[in-house]
Chain A
Amino acid sequence: ETGVTQTPRHLVMGMTNKKSLKCEQHLGHNAMYWYKQSAKKPLELMFVYSLEERVENNSVPSRFSPECPNSSHLFLHLHTLQPEDSALYLCASSQDALAGEQYFGPGTRLTVT
């Protein structure tokens, strides 16, 4: 596979469930990002990892927990979410953190019931 991949593509979960989103980049990049995309709103940056270290946390609630085990993989662990957390969650990567071109995955469409 090439580029940035995300699984699952669609996820429906109840408010008491625990689930994880997975992202993998095949570009040899050093930085990875999680964004939230809601209808009619700009993309919201959630987390940034550079060389497996978290360098940015944009006041995201603790029910979202990121994990970056290596420079190619990024996870977003979800726990006790709210219906307003329903959105498209996008992963991106770039050669260096917070500068230059970012390449996005296809996203995970999350619905919280």
Chain B
Amino acid sequence: GENVEQHPSTLSVQEGDSAVIKCTYSDSASNYFPWYKQELGKGPQLIIDIRSNVGEKKDQRIAVTLNKTAKHFSLHITETQPEDSAVYFCAAHMEYGNKLVFGAGTILRVKS
């Protein structure tokens, strides 16, 4: 069935360094790819998204890239700060079943 693979499962970086999280998806007809940040005790919060008609989108220190041919997309966080520490989830909107399918999450730790 449709699925989204997310790597790595945990990521530790030094404050100020960059962090990259990668996801691959199975449904080539997928057209919408959001990223969520979940802090302890809170629900996932949408931080950035990208649609299939663009290859890259940037919002201050975060950016997302999409390679439709390879069916993968990535989240890039530059100049990481301790408050970036959280669990990050990618998702893909699957045309098959018409639903969002989520990756398993990446625990990001930013060490100060």
Q: A residues near B, CB below 8 A?
A: 4, 6, 40-43, 45, 48, 56, 90, 92, 98-107
Which chain B residues lie closer than 8 Å to A99 at the CB level? 32, 93, 98
Residue from A6, A45, A107 in contact with B100 in the complex, judged by beta carbons closer than 8 Å: A45
A107 to B42, CA, bound (A): 7
Residue positions of B touching A, CB distance < 8 A: 4, 9, 32, 34, 36, 41-46, 49, 89, 93, 98-105
Residues of A within 8 A of B101 (CB): 42
**Contact assessment for B104 and A100 in the assembled complex, using a CB-CB cutoff below 8 Å:** no
Q: Which residue of A lies closest to B51 (CB)?
A: A100
Distance A45 CA – B41 CA, assembled complex (angstroms): 20
B100 near A104: Cβ-Cβ < 8 Å: no
By CB atoms of chain B within 10 A, which of A6, A41, A56, A100 has the most?
A: A100
Do B104 and A40 touch (CB < 8 A)? yes
15 A-B pairs within 8 Å (CB atoms) are namely A4-B43, A40-B9, A42-B105, A43-B44, A98-B93, A98-B98, A98-B100, A99-B93, A99-B98, A101-B34, A101-B49, A102-B100, A104-B43, A107-B42, A107-B43
B7 to chain A: closest CB distance in Å? 13
Contact of B43 among A42, A100, A105 (CB under 8 A): A105
Query: In the bound complex, do residue A102 and residue B4 qualify as a contact, i.e. CB atoms below 8 Å apart?
Result: no
A106 touches B46 (CB 8 A): no
CA distance A102 to B49 in the complex (A): 11
- B100 CB contacts on chain A under 8 angstroms: 45, 98, 102
The answer to whether A106 and B43 touch across the interface, beta carbons within 8 angstroms, is yes
- Chain A nearest CB from B3 CB (Å) reads 8
